Amino acid sequence: MRVIFLFGIIVIPGVEFAVFVEIGDRIGLWPTLSAVFLTAIAGVALLRRQGLTTLQRAKEHLERGRFPVNEVFDGLCLLVAGALLLIPGFVTDSAGLLLFFPPVRAILGRIIRRYLTAPERLDGRTGKTDSRLSGRRRAGAPGVENIIDGDYQDITSADRDKKNKTSSGDTKSFPPFLR
């Protein structure tokens, strides 16, 4: 996680600056600034159009009683795309524009889904697979204990009937989980 943060804070602005200077040398300052400004405007227009379409699809899924998983993911991608397009620079604008294409979002969704459903993860410190780092705990896996510790009280049906009788002899009308 630290590497990603370091990459985002140091490397991306450095690359953006280098690309900005290179394009500024080739086409001039004002056309470069205009291009950055126009990509931000185009990004907002694309975000509005595709965002409304995604919202409508999500609403239709909810009306049918299904959770709109793909639409939520598309909405998240569009949110990231909009943020990338508002950051001045050509590299972030390119990445943001890529997220507006549904095939790119579908590929990204498959990659993330494969990562989230992988049975084992690599331990970042040792480089070995560690089943404890997976989202699922598997019985019999090394290092995974299947111990459940708890207290219980055995209540037989006769004891329960005695407790539930009132003075008039009627059984209380409470549901079982409230008795």
DSSP structural state of residue 67: -
Q: Is residue 154 part of a domain?
A: no
Q: Is residue 8 part of a domain?
A: yes
Does this model's pTM top 0.85? Answer: no
For residue 171, being part of any structural domain is answered with no
Number of domains the chain contains? 1
In this structure, is residue 149 part of a structural domain?
no
- Residue range of the domain that includes 8: 2-119
pLDDT, tens digit (0-9, with 9 covering 90-100), for 35-91: 988 888 888 888 888 888 888 888 998 898 888 888 889 889 998 998 888 888 888
Is residue 153 situated within a structural domain? no
Confidence (pLDDT) at 136 = 45
Predicted local confidence at residue 27, as pLDDT:
92
First vs last C-alpha separation in the chain: 49
The angle subtended at Cα 71 by Cα 68 and Cα 76, nearest 5°, is 125
> What is the per-residue pLDDT for 173?
58
pLDDT in tens, 138-163: 445 555 566 777 777 777 765 666 66
CA gap 52, 72 in Å, rounded: 12
Residue 173 within a domain: no
pLDDT tens digit string along 11-49? 888 898 999 999 999 999 899 989 988 888 888 888 888
Within a domain: 136: no
Please report, rounded to a whole number, the percentage of residues in the chain having pLDDT higher than 70.
70
36 domain-assigned: yes
